[in-house]
């Protein structure tokens, strides 16, 4: 049976949740990371292709590798966060399709570079959105960012060129004391048509 989530749950995932880059001292443990992936992996993707790959950055060594790729306005808060996630897309994601989409041969669809890039980035972005919702569902706060030099990040983390970064997220248990008010959202009438 499906039903609307309880108001508290909706509030945790949507109403109260913010893009947050400041966190308290609590670490994000490995069991929570596994729970996070187990929810995120259920995101729908075209052809069930699941092009997103996730690198969790927690050690001082890995953070030092990440730091030079970050924009100056994102660097300090990203290094201070208990955990960062790099969401990348696998430029050869279609090689997994025989396992992920058994019984259908769609190899002929993924021959053009532009089609591969479009499907890979679109679906990985969708998976990143699910990661944010999954993290909020587990009580984490998330700060997504595209303010980084993707070429520099890819050289530092994905030197063989197969994975390509899309998004960096700060993750932890949020400290909301310095959050500004939420930015306005478009009204239903301004964003939605019902035909």
Ligand X SMILES: Cc1cc2nc3c(=O)[nH]c(=O)nc-3n(C[C@H](O)[C@H](O)[C@H](O)COP(=O)(O)O)c2cc1C
Write out the residues near ligand X by the rule CB under 6 A.
18-19, 21, 74, 144-147, 167, 182-183
54-to-15, 81, 94, 158, 187 alpha-carbon distances in Å: 27, 17, 17, 12, 33
Q: How far is the CB of 32 from ligand X (least distance, A)?
A: 21
> 45 or 110: whose CB is closer to ligand X?
45
Smallest gap, in angstroms, from Cβ of residue 175 to ligand X? 14
Residue closer to ligand X, measured from CB, 106 or 138: 138
How many residues does this entry show for the chain?
195
Q: Name the DSSP letter for residue 184.
A: P
* 83 and 58 Cβ atoms separated by less than 8 Å: yes
CB of 49 to ligand X, least distance (A): 21
Compute the distance between CA of residue 114 and CA of residue 119 in angstroms, rounded to an integer.
9
Residue that has been written with the tokens 């960062």 in this structure? 84
Task: Considering the complex, state which of residue 119 and residue 167 has its C-beta at the smaller distance from ligand X.
Answer: 167
Contact 20, 145 (CB under 8 A): no
Between 45 and 74, CB nearer to ligand X? 74
**Shortest Cβ distance from residue 168 to ligand X (Å)?**
8
């Amino acid at each position: 049976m499906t039903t609307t989530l309880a108001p508290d749950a909706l509030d945790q995932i949507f109403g109260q949740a913010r893009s947050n880059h400041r966190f308290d001292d609590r670490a994000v443990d490995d069991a929570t990371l596994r729970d996070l992936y187990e929810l995120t992996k259920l995101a729908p993707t075209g052809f069930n292709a699941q092009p997103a790959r996730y690198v969790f950055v927690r050690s001082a060594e890995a953070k030092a590798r990440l730091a030079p790729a970050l924009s100056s306005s994102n660097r300090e808060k990203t290094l201070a966060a208990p955990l960062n996630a790099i969401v990348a897309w696998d430029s050869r994601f279609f090689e997994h399709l025989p396992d992920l989409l058994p019984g259908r041969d769609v190899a002929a669809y993924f021959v053009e570079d532009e089609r591969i890039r479009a499907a890979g980035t679109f679906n990985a972005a969708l998976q990143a959105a699910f990661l944010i919702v999954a993290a909020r569902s587990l009580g984490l706060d998330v700060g997504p960012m595209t303010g980084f030099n993707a070429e520099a990040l890819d050289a530092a983390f994905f030197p063989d060129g197969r994975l390509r970064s899309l998004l960096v997220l700060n993750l932890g248990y949020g400290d909301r004391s310095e959050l500004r008010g939420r930015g306005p959202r478009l009204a239903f009438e301004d964003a939605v048509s019902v035909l």
